[in-house]
Amino acid sequence: MTEQNGSAVNTLARKLVKDLVPYASARSSMSGGAVWLNANENALAPAYQLDGTFNRYPSCQPKAVINAYAAYAGVKSEQVLVSRGADEGIELLIRSFCEPNTDSITICPPTYGMYAISAQSHQTAVNKVLLLNSERLDLDGIFATNPKLVFICSPNNPTGDVIPHEQIIAVLEHFKNSALVVVDEAYIEFVPEASVAPLLNRYPHLVVLRTLSKAFGLAGLRCGFTLANPDVINALRKMIAPYPIAEPVAQIAAQALSAAGIAQMKQSVATINTLRSDFIKLASTLPGVLKVWPSNANYVLLQVADAADCVNALIDADILIRNQSSQLGLTQVVRVSIGSPDEMQRLTTAMQQYFLTNQQIKREHA
Ligand code: PMP
């Protein structure tokens, strides 16, 4: 295409698209490195087999996957939608329930970035009600908004906090006849007792988001779930693409949700939770780590003197972690995903070296 043609195409794009700043995913914003601790993936990856041929279109909502997830989550099959990651669940909820240029969503930063970006790309306003002390919902602030959807992330990315059940119930009670309350449980397997899925039968306007990307170690699969009242699921089914789940994805998801797959997931959660406790203990002793958030997920948020410098120092050691300092309500913070035992050993060595050297420089300047 000539340059002239290229610019003509650019003028054809919608104003919204021209103005949109896309989500900077961990994978798109950083490359290289040998140890990837920047995307909250699971390094303890299981291997799967594919069989069959792929000449036929797949089922829109493959029964084996839906039934297995319903059994795993303790809900009925008609309360489950499978999608291309929880990200597609977020997008479908906004597209199905928010009238463009009219409705709004409420989010509680610092939190996952895709709620706001999906809303923006659907011309939906975003009410931002900051978490209190970056851990509890500001209920009065949330009640002062008039949204169609309220997004609550628990455990919250990037802080790792679980939002107390009483607070989620208070939000559910307040928005009984006016909004859906979406609880994003992408990391719930690391703290399963905190799930609000048992409340689904009590609150028809509760929606729970889940994924195979984290504890199940299948971020590359792109498979997530929305759990909700059948009326909500039916609305989303009207909006989803005809064949959203590729056949290989359905086959692997069904294996991951078998008894053996779930047992393997639980084992990897136990390993990661132990590695996380060890890392939190270490980080708390490092001079220069100003705050360590008590995580309930497979990542830990740390406040440091200079987040960009810390990220760069680890890049020099071939390790990628994520700078989260641009998040509303946070300053100079890095998020470290929990990797394999070997990766955590490399991280420990690199962090000790960085923070002890920093201390040395400070001492020289003292
Ligand atoms: N919610 C949260 C809180 C997340 O951190 C992520 C992934 N980073 C997602 C949803 C999206 O998950 P998926 O890979 O299933 O699209």
Q: Which of 93, 114, 189, 252 to mutate to test the pocket of ligand 1 (most atoms within 8 A of CB)?
A: 114
Residue 362 covered by a domain: no
Which pLDDT belongs to residue 46?
A: 83
Q: Are residues 253 and 285 in the same domain?
A: no
End of a domain among 196, 231, 260?
A: 260
Which pLDDT belongs to residue 2?
A: 46
Which pLDDT belongs to residue 362?
A: 55
Residue 291 covered by a domain: yes
Q: Are residues 165 and 225 in the same domain?
A: yes
Residue 101 and residue 95: Cα distance in Å, rounded?
12
Which pLDDT belongs to residue 220?
A: 95
Q: Are residues 70 and 133 in the same domain?
A: yes
Q: Is the CB of 251 under 6 A from ligand 1?
A: no
CA of 186 to the centre of ligand 1 (A): 6
Reference 65, options 235, 300, 245; nearest CA is: 245
Q: Are residues 32 and 123 in the same domain?
A: no
Which pLDDT belongs to residue 272?
A: 98
CA–centroid distance for 84 within its chain: 13
The sign of the CA dihedral 309, 314, 315, 316 is positive
Q: Is the CB of 219 under 6 A from ligand 1?
A: yes
Structure tokens at 293: 């958030």
Q: Is the CB of 85 under 6 A from ligand 1?
A: yes
Reference 257, options 41, 67, 15; nearest CA is: 67
Instruction: Say if residue 122 is exposed, middle or buried (CB neighbours under 10 Å; 0-12, 13-18, 19+).
Output: middle
Which pLDDT belongs to residue 134?
A: 83
Q: Is the CB of 224 under 6 A from ligand 1?
A: yes
CA of 90 to the centre of ligand 1 (A): 9
CA of 220 to the centre of ligand 1 (A): 12
Which pLDDT belongs to residue 34?
A: 87
Residue 116 covered by a domain: yes
* Segment 282-324, tens digit of pLDDT: 999 999 999 999 999 999 999 999 999 999 999 999 999 999 9
Q: Which of 157, 212, 218, 335 to mutate to test the pocket of ligand 1 (most atoms within 8 A of CB)?
A: 157
Q: Are residues 79 and 204 in the same domain?
A: yes
CA of 185 to the centre of ligand 1 (A): 9
Q: Are residues 328 and 249 in the same domain?
A: no
Segments of the chain scoring below 50 in pLDDT: 1-3, 360, 363, 366
Residue 48 covered by a domain: no
Q: Are residues 212 and 110 in the same domain?
A: yes
pTM for the predicted model, two decimal places: 0.94
CATH code at position 312: 3.90.1150.10
Which pLDDT belongs to residue 53?
A: 85
Which one-letter amino acid corresponds to residue 85? Answer: G
> Which residues does 146 contact at the CB level (< 8 Å), separation at least 6?
104, 178
Q: Are residues 119 and 162 in the same domain?
A: yes
Ligand 1 atom with the smallest distance to the CA of 219 is 14
Q: Are residues 215 and 302 in the same domain?
A: no
Q: Are residues 88 and 217 in the same domain?
A: yes
Residue 2 covered by a domain: no
Which one-letter amino acid corresponds to residue 148? Answer: K
Residue 54 covered by a domain: no
End of a domain among 260, 279, 296?
A: 260
> Does residue 304 contact residue 85 with C-beta atoms inside 8 Å?
no
Reference 326, options 344, 347, 348, 311; nearest CA is: 311
* Segment 237-293, tens digit of pLDDT: 999 999 999 999 999 999 999 999 999 999 999 999 999 999 999 999 999 999 999
End of a domain among 260, 287, 318?
A: 260
Which pLDDT belongs to residue 4?
A: 53
Structure tokens at 358: 């920093």
List alpha helices for 74-192, DSSP H. Answer: 85-97, 114-121, 139-143, 165-174
Tell me how many domains the chain contains. Answer: 2
Which pLDDT belongs to residue 314?
A: 95
CATH code at position 149: 3.40.640.10
Q: Are residues 181 and 230 in the same domain?
A: yes
Residue 58 covered by a domain: no
Residue 286 covered by a domain: yes
Tokens 């087999």: give the residue.
Answer: 49
Structural domain for 305, as ranges: 8-43+268-355
The sign of the CA dihedral 332, 188, 149, 17 is positive
Residue 331 and residue 293: Cα distance in Å, rounded?
13
Q: Are residues 253 and 113 in the same domain?
A: yes
Structure tokens at 89: 């669940």
